[in-house]
Structure 1
Amino acid sequence: MATGDQLPHLLEVPTGAGKTAAAVLSWLWRRIHGNAKIRSATGRRLIFCLPMRSLVEQTQRATQEWLAALGLELDVHVLMGGAIARDWDDAPERDSIIIGTQDQLLSRALNRGYAMSRFRWPIQFGWLNNDCVWVMDEVQLMGSGLSTSAQLHAMRQQFGAFGPCHTMWMSATLARGSLDTVDLRRITLREQGLGAADRKALSKRLKAKKPLELLPTDPKKPLSTAKQLLALHKAGSLTVVVVNRVTRARELAQALSKAANGTLEVTLIHSRFRPHERSEAQRKALQPGWSGILVATQAIEAGVDIDARILVTELASWPSLVQRFGRCNRAGARKDAQVLWMDVASKDAAPYTAEALDLGRGRLRELDDVGPESLTKVGIDDARPALPVIRRKDLYSLFDTQSDLAGHDIDVSAFVRATEHDADVQVLWRTWEGAHPPDDAAAPRREELCRVPIGQLDTLISTKAPAWRWSSLRATWERVTSKRDLYPGLTLLMPVQSGGYSAAFGWTGDKRDIPPEVPLPSDAERSDADEGDPWTYKLHEYVELSVHSDDVVGVVAELQAGLGELALPWSELTRAARWHDLGKAHAAFQSMLTQKLEPDDERRDKVWAKSDWVHSGRCERPHFRHELASALAFLDQGGSDLEVYLVAAHHGKVRMAVRSRPGEPAPKGEPNRRYALGVWDRDPLPRVELGSGVVSTACELDLSGMELGWQDGAPSWTERSLSLLDEHGPFRLAYLEALVRIADWRGTRKRANSKGRGGHA
C-alpha cells in the first residue's frame, strides 16, 4: 500500500490483521518518503473515520505511539461527541491526522458540523473535502454514513477539488453492494486483501480456536444472568459481555456488581457516558493485564484491541457478531478460550432487524467454532446502499449555511448515521445563580457532554424545568421546554438538579441520579455569537487597518509557499486579503473601537482594524457586519465576483445571501432605504490606506444587490454567489473561502500577545 502509485479503495482483511496500522503507516510513508508522484497522489490530511468513540480513542493512542516510535512530530486531532479538538483547522499547509466518529466528521463534510460554531462550518467543509485521504473503518456499522461517504467521494471527482482526494473503505465483513450508490458505481474501485506473505505472518491469529456454545438466559432476570456469568468467569482473566442496548448493559452491570459483592471488578462501557467518566473506565478496563468482567454495548465490538478469555454476546446481526468474535483469543495464544451467545427475541431486535437476527441465529446454530478459519466457510452477504443517499442537489443546498428566518437549519442526521443515534442530542450539566444561565458562561467542553436520545428527555424537560440551548444569533441561552424544540446534534445545558446521569452508570434518565459537575478551567472560552468578533476589539493594543492588511497578505504568501503545488488563484486570494477589512473604516465601526478613548486622544485620528479590550464599546448599529461593507466597497472599486465573495465570507456570516436580521431596526425616518446587517444603502465609506501603497477611493455603499433579480443591469448578490458555486464547485469555493479566513486569523495573531483576549476573528 505504501509504495503503490495509488492507495486501494477497498481493504478487506480479518479482524486483528492490522488494518489501522496499514492505513496510518502507509499514509505516513507516502507523505514523508514517497517520491514526487506518490506524494502528489496522497492528500496532506489523513481523515480516519470510525463509527464509535471507543475506536477513535484507541486509534488515537496507537497513532501517537507509532509517531513517537518513529520520532515524528505530526499534528493528531480528535473529533468525537464530547471531545472536539479546537484549532485543528488553522494550518491547512501542514500534514495532519484527524481521527473522529462518523457523526463529527461526516456532519462537517456536509457543512453542518455537530457541536461547533456554525460560522466555522465552511472552513472544515473545505478542509475535509480537499487535499485529503479518507479512511472509513468498520464500515459495516456505519449505516447511511457509508452511503454518504461513497457519494462524497464520487462528488469530489465530479465537482472537482484542490489536491488529491481519496477514500479507502476497510472492514473484515465488507458487503460490496453497500457501496453501489448512484454516483460511486460509475467509478472503478481498486481492491486489496491479504497476500501469501501476510497470511504466513498472521498464521497464529488466523488459526485461533474459539469454541462456541449457546448460553440460555432470561433477559427479564438480569440478576440470574449475572450469576451465570460469575460462574463462567475465571479469576485473574478477562470476561467480556457485549449486549445490544445501553439499558440492558446498565441493568446487567448493576446486577453483576450486586452479585459479585466486591469480589471482582465490574466495569461498564457504553456510548452514553461523559468523557470525564468514560475515559477513566476505558483506560482501566482496556489496559493489558486487567482482570474482571467488562460489560459493554457495540462500543467495543469492532476494532477495540482487547483479548478476552471468555466472550459472551447477545445475538446480533452477522457482521456485528463477526466483529465481536474478534475480541476473544485475539492473538490465538489461549487454549481455554470460549465464546457463548445469548438469544434475543425478535420483538427485542433493535437496533437490528428481526430478519438480521434470524440470519445470525441460523448461522450460529450451524457452527461450533468462530475462529477466523471457521468463519471463512461462511460467506459475506450482499447488500444495498443504506438509505437515504445524498445527491448533488442536496450538497448544493447545504453549501448555504445561513439559517432560515426562524433560526432553523437543514438536518443532515439522516445522511450521517441511520441508526438508533439518529435522534441524539448532547447534554451537559452545570450549576449557576439565578433562573437564567449567564451569557458569558464557558462554551460547552468535551469532557462535559453526554449523548442522550431525544425521546428520553421528556421527563426532565418542562416549562417549569427547562433546558437551555445557545443562540448564536441572539448571543444568549434560550429556553427549551419540549422535545418538539429538539433536533439531532443540538447541545443542551441543564441544571445539575435536573438529574438523569450517574457517574457509575452514565445516562439513566432518572431524576434521582444527580451528576457531579465537571470542573472547568478558568480560561475556558465563551460560546460564539453572530455578532461576536473578539479578535477585533479584545486585543491588548490598537492595530491600524493598513498594518493588519499587510499582515494578512503576508500570511497568504506563507500559505502559498506551503501549498504551492495546488493550482490556486493566488492573485485573487491576495487581493481579497488586502481588501477584507476595508468596511471597518465605516463611521459606526470606528466609533465602536474608539468609544472610550479620551476626546483628545490622538488615536481617534487613525483608521483602526483592531482595538484593545479596554477602550472599545458597543456598536451603534445593531448586527453591523463590517465584512459586508468591505465587500460592497470592493465590488464598487473593481473587485471580481470571487474576490468580493471571499471578502464577504471571511467571518462565515455573509455568504450566499444578504438580508437583514430578524428585529433589525430600519433607518429612522427612511422607510424605503435598504438595510441589512447594520449596513444602510448609500452609507459613505472614506478613502482608506490598505497597506503597501494600496488605497481605496471614497464611495457610497450600494445594497441594491440584496434584492431579487437584476438591478440597474447588475446581478443580485445571490445570483453572483450561485454563479461562483457553479464555476468552482462547492468544495473548491469553500476551500478558497477558508484560506482567506485562516490568513485573517493568523495575521491577527501577529499583533496579539500573552495579554490579549478572545478567540478567532
Structure 2
Amino acid sequence: MNYKDFFKQVTGFTPYPWQERFSGWDGKLVSVIRAPTGAGKESGTVVPWLYSHKIGEPSTTRLIYALPTRSLVDQVYENTQRVVKASGLPIQVYCLKGGKVEHGFEQDLTQPAILIGTQDQLLSRALNRGFGVSWAQRPLHCAALTNDCRWVLDEIQLTGVAYSTLVQLYKHWQDLGTFGNVQLCLMSATFDERPLKELKIERFDLNKIDFAHEELNAKVTRPKPVYRASVEGVKDVAVLLRAKHTPDTLSLMVVNTVDRAREIGELLADLEPLVIHSRFLGIDREVLQKKLKDYKGIIVATQVVEAGVDLDADLLITELCPWSSFVQRCGRCGRKRTSNHVEIRWLDYQQNWKAIPYSDLECQDTRNRLLELTDASLHHLSKVALPQLDISHRLLTKQHLETFFCTHYLKRNLRGSSTVSDFIRETTNFTVLVFWSTEQPNQLPMQRYLCPVPIKQLLDFCQSYNVTPCIWGEDRWEKARPTSGDVVWLPLDQGGYSHERGWTANPKDKPDPNRYKLQLEPEFSDRRFSYSLKLGVHLKDTEDCLQKIIPFLQHLGLSQPLTEELCRCARWHDWGKAHQLWQAYARAKGNLLAKSKNYGHASELNGYRHEMASALAAAAQGAPFLAQYLIAAHHGKVRDSLMPNNPQEDCSLRIVRGVEIGSQLCEVEIENSEILPSVELSLAGDFEDWDLQIEELLEKYGFFKLVYLEALVRNADVKASKYREEEVKNDRSNS
C-alpha cells in the first residue's frame, strides 16, 4: 500500500500536498512545519510515523506528541486512537496530562507506542523528574522518552520556555548520545526560529500547490469578519454575549483568567453555559469533555480551548491577548464549515482591566493590529506581520542533566535540581496536583482524581485556613512546601473544590464523597502472588526475556559485549533474595523463592534491599561496575547513592541499605544455567568509591543511555514475572 492510500484508509481523506511531502522526512534534520489552523498538522505528523511501521521500516519505536494544554491533548488522543485502530497496527496510544496519566509504555521499551501529553508531563519525564511519578519509577519514564523516539512539539508559540528546552535537549541527545534515533518535529501557525539557529532544519511550509487545493483553499480564504466591542466590565460582556448568541448555534467566549470565566458564567446562569478552565479534577474534566462534542449553546472558557480544540463556533468573543493567542482563538471559529456566517468580536475594556496573565505591552500590540483588521480569515492573518516574540529561555547544561539523573534525596536537590519546572513552563503557570480524602492513602491516587492548582493559590489557601499540605516524597507523605509537579493531599473536610466550578479555594466547597470515590495507583513493590516461584526459575526467566530482545537492541546500536553484560545482570538481578532474612520474609519453608503468595510484613526486612545484596554478590564474582550498578538499580531504590533514602534508616560500614556486611547468601541453582556459589557480602572494591564510579559511568555512556540500560533490566524482570503469572492463570482456566 502506498502512502496516499494508507492515509485515506486511516483518516478517510486524501492527504494535502504538504502532508505527502512530509511523509518523506527521514528525521536526520529538525523538521519545521508552518501551517495555519485546519491544515491537518496533527494527521500530517502522526500518519507518516504509523506508515513507517506499516511497511516494516519504523523510524522510531515511540512517537512523542507534546502539546501546551490538557484540552488539546484530549482531542489529539481521541483522534489518534481512531487512526491507529483504522491502521490495523497493534500499537498502544497513551495519554499523559494532569488528571490522566496512563502507564505501561515504560514497562517494555521494545513495543511501539504513541505518547500524547502536555509539555509539562512529557518534558518532566525526559528530564528524569516526571510529575506525579514516584522517584523509583522516574528513570523508566526518562528512558522511554529519550531513546529511540520521534518528538513532535505542536503549537510552539504557546509552549513558552518548553520550546527552547526541547531544542536544547535535542542538542544534548546528539552530543551525549542515545540508543536508536531521536528525531524532532516542531509545528505552529506562527513561528519564531531563533532557538534553532545552531541546527540544520528542513522546512515544510505550505506552497502554491497547497493553496490551489480546493478544500484547503476554502478553509484558508473563508471570511471571518472582525468587530471591536467597547465594554466597561464583565457585566457588559455578559450582556453582549447574551445579545449576540443565536439559539442552536455555538458561541464561544474566551477570557484570560479563571475568575472572569466563572463570573461571566454566573451572570449567564439561566442560559446554562459550559464554563471550562484547567482547575478541575480529572473525573470532572472528563464529563466536560464529553459535553463538548457537537455542543450547541454558550461556552465560556479560558486559554484551555485556545489551541487545536475541535470547536467550530459561529460567534467568537475574546479578550485581548498576545497576537499568537488571538490567531489560535480565531481557529476555534469557522473551523470546519465554510458556508455558514461567522463573526469575531474583541473586547476593548474602557477601565479597570488587567492583562493578567499576559503583559500590557503584548495586549496593546494586539489591540493596535486589531484596529486595522476587518477580516480574520487564515489568508488575511497570514499577511499580518508577526510581533517580535520574547522567547522564554533558560540554559540547560550538561551539569543540569547529571543532577537530574540523581534521584537520591540528598543529591537530587544539589545545584538547583528542584528548579526543573523552570525548564518546562513559565513561573506563573507552576501548578501542583491536589486531591482530597478523609485519610491519607498509603500510595498515590490515580491521576484522574487529581486537580491542577497554582502553587501560590494553594499556599495562600493553606495559610488563610490553617491547613498543612502534605506532599508525596520518597514513597511516603511529607509535610513540606510544595513545588511544581508535586502531588499534594488535603483533608476532605478542609474543602476548596466544587464539582461544578473546579478549584475555588473556598473551604465551604467540598468534593462529594459519593461522587469522588478515590482510587489508588497499583503498587510497584513486592506484592502477593497467587503462586510461589522458585528463585532459580525466575532468574532464568528474566535472562530469557532479555535474550529475546537482543536483535532489537543490536539494531539500536548496542554492542555484543554490552548485550552479554545485560544478560548477566538479568540472570543475577535477584541473587540477594537468597539471604535468609528475605527468605524468612517470603515464608519460603525450605525452598529458595523469588516470589511468594504469603509475604510477611515489610518491617521484618529492617530496610534490607535485596538488589543491594545482589550487587555486592556480583562484585564478589568480579562483575564490572556497570553490572553492579544495573543490578543495584533494578527497583530504582539504589541508584546514585548507597545512602538510605530514609534519613532515619541505619547506615554505617556495618550495614548498607539494610544489608549487614559479613552476612552470606546461600548457593543458588539457576535452572538449566549455572550455580551461583555461596558468597559473603563485603564492601570491597568499587563500592568504596560508588559516587566516583557513577560519575565515570555517566562520562562513558551519558545520561540517556545509562537510564535506558537500567530500564532494559527492569523491563526483563517485569516481563518474566508476567510470563509466569499468565502461565498459572492459563493452567487454572484449563483445569
TM-score (norm 2): 0.90
2:471–2:482: 8 Å Cα contact kept in structure 1? no
Q: Separation in 2 of the partners of 1:49 and 1:438? A: 31
Which of 508, 513, 523 is the aligned partner of 1:512?
508
Partner of 1:49: 66
- Residue in structure 2 matched with residue 579 of structure 1 by the alignment: 572
Q: Which residue of 2 aligns with 1:235?
A: 247
| 2:495 paired residue among 479, 485, 499 | 499
Q: 1:390 to 1:248 in 2, by over 3 A?
A: same
1:548 equivalent in structure 2: 538
Among 597, 606, 613, which residue is 2:591 paired with?
A: 606
Which whole-Å CA distance do the structure 1 matches of 2:253 and 2:353 have between them? 21
| C-alpha distance 5-592 of structure 1, shift in aligned 2 (>3 A) | closer
2:276 corresponds to which letter in structure 1? I
TM-score by length of 1: 0.87
The answer on 1:207 being equivalent to 2:221 is yes
Task: Write the distance in 2 (CA, Å) between the matches of 1:542 and 1:651.
Answer: 20
SS in 2 for 1:127: helix
Distance in 2 of aligned mates of 1:276 and 1:724? 43
| Pick aligned residue for 1:414 from 416, 422, 432 | 422
1:362-395 deviation digits (Å, cap 9, x = unpaired) = 1111111111111122123344641223111111
**CA distance in structure 2 between the partners assigned to 1:653 and 1:545 by the alignment:** 21
Is 1:378 matched up with 2:363? no
In the other structure, the counterpart of 1:698 is 678
| Correspondence 1:157-168 to 2 at 5 A | 157-168=174-185
Identity of aligned residues (%): 36
How far 1:335 moved relative to its partner?
Answer: 4.6
Q: Among 325, 339, 349, which residue is 2:344 paired with?
A: 339
Q: Give the superposed CA RMSD.
A: 2.5
Q: Which among 24, 41, 51 is matched to residue 3 of structure 1?
A: 24
- Indicate which of 621, 628, 632 corresponds to 1:637: 621
Aligned partners of 2:484 and 2:273: how far apart in 1?
32
Residue 216 in structure 1 maps to residue 230 in structure 2? yes
Residue 291 in 1 paired to residue 305 in 2?
Answer: no
For the residues of structure 1 that align with 2:512 and 2:684, how far apart are their CA atoms? 55
Partner of 1:248: 260
Q: Which residue of 1 aligns with 2:55?
A: 33
Matched, 1:274 2:281: yes
Q: Indicate the SS of the match to 1:315.
A: coil
Q: Which has the higher helix share?
A: 2
Deviation at 1:747, TM superposition (A): 0.8
> CA offsets, 1:627-658, max 9 Å, x none?
11111110110112211111011001111221
Residue equivalent to 1:84 = 101
Q: Count the aligned residue pairs.
A: 698
SS in 1 for 2:152: strand
Residue type of the alignment partner of 2:612 = L
Could you tell me which residue of structure 2 aligns to residue 151 of structure 1?
168
User: 1:497 aligns to what SS in structure 2?
Assistant: helix
Report the secondary structure of 1:62's partner residue.
Answer: helix
Structure 2 CA distance for aligned equivalents of residues 323 and 486 of structure 1 = 33
User: Match of 1:68, as an amino acid?
Assistant: K
1:309 corresponds in structure 2 to 314
Aligned to 1:600: none
Partner of residue 324, structure 1: 329
Residue type of the alignment partner of 2:403? S
> 2:124 pairs with 96, 107, 110, which one?
107
CA distance change for structure 1 residues 90 and 516 in 2, over 3 Å: closer, same or farther? Answer: same
Displacement after TM superposition at 1:9 (Å): 1.4
Alignment of 1:608-757 (within 5 A): 608-612=593-597, 614-664=598-648, 666=650, 673-703=653-683, 716-752=689-725
- Secondary structure of the 1:111 match is coil
Find the residue that maps to 1:107 and give its secondary structure.
helix
- State the 1:448 CA deviation: 1.2
1:14 matched to 2:4: no
Distance across 2 between alignment mates of 1:249 and 1:226 = 10
Mapped pair 1:534 → 2:541: no
Do 2:124 and 2:420's aligned partners in 1 also have CA atoms closer than 8 Å? yes
Separation (CA, whole Å) in 2 of partners of 1:325 and 1:333: 14
Q: 1:228 to 1:618 in 2, by over 3 A?
A: closer
The amino acid of 1:82's aligned partner reads G
Residue 401 of structure 1: aligned partner: 407
1:562 is displaced (CA, Å) by 4.4
| Cα gap change, 1:459 to 1:395, in 2 (>3 Å) | closer
What SS is found at the alignment partner of 1:605?
coil
8 Å contact kept, 2:402–2:703: yes
Contact 1:223 1:252 in 2 (8 A): yes
1:338 CA displacement: 0.6
Residues 669-700 of structure 1, C-alpha deviations (whole Å, 9 max, x = no match): xxx74322101222222332233332223332
Shift of 1:223: 3.0
Find 2:198's aligned residue among 155, 172, 186. Answer: 186
5+ residue gaps, structure 1: 595-602, 757-761
Aligned AA for 1:609?
A
Q: 1:519 to 1:560 in 2, by over 3 A?
A: farther
- Match of 1:348, SS state, is coil
Give SS of 1:128's match: helix
Query: Structure 1 residues 94, 676: closer, same or farther in 2, change over 3 A?
Result: same
SS in 2 for 1:190: strand
2: distance between equivalents of 1:733 and 1:478?
A: 30
